[in-house]
């Protein structure tokens, strides 16, 4: 099976939805997948910054929140890499 452009778009979108989770559904929209991934990454970075502030304020749930944000950010950045590779292959992803 050779993946088509549509197969690749659908796969990236499904992965993005799975990685982003329900809290980031507002970042997903009708614009291109690269924009949606970037928006999710920016939202997670903001969440990580908030977690750091909570840690500095000695709020107990700051550390788990930061760990979760870092894990999600790592996954989204890996998805961004896949999206870039797919874009090079298809030219107009």
Boundaries of domain holding 40: 5-20+28-90
pLDDT for the residue numbered 74: 96
Q: Tell me the pLDDT band of 91, cut-offs 50, 70 and 90.
A: confident
pLDDT for the residue numbered 24: 73
Angle between helices 33-56 and 5-20 (to 10 degrees): 20
Whether pLDDT at 25 is above 80:
no
Give the Cα separation of 73 and 41 in Å (integer).
Answer: 6
The string of pLDDT tens digits covering residues 45-73 is 999 999 999 999 999 999 999 999 999 99
Number of domains in the chain: 1
Query: Across the chain, how many H-helices and E-strands are there?
Result: 3, 0
CB 48 within 8 A of CB 70: yes
pTM of the model: 0.85
CB 28 within 8 A of CB 56: no
């Amino acid at each position: 099976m050779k993946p088509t452009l549509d197969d690749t778009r659908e796969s990236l979108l499904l992965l993005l939805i799975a990685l982003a989770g329900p809290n980031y559904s507002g970042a997903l929209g009708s614009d291109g997948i690269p924009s949606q991934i970037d928006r999710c990454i920016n939202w997670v970075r903001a969440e990580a910054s908030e977690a750091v502030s909570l840690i500095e304020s000695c709020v107990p749930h700051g550390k788990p929140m930061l760990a979760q944000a870092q894990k999600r950010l790592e996954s989204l950045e890996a998805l961004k890499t896949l999206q870039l590779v797919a874009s090079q292959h298809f030219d107009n992803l």
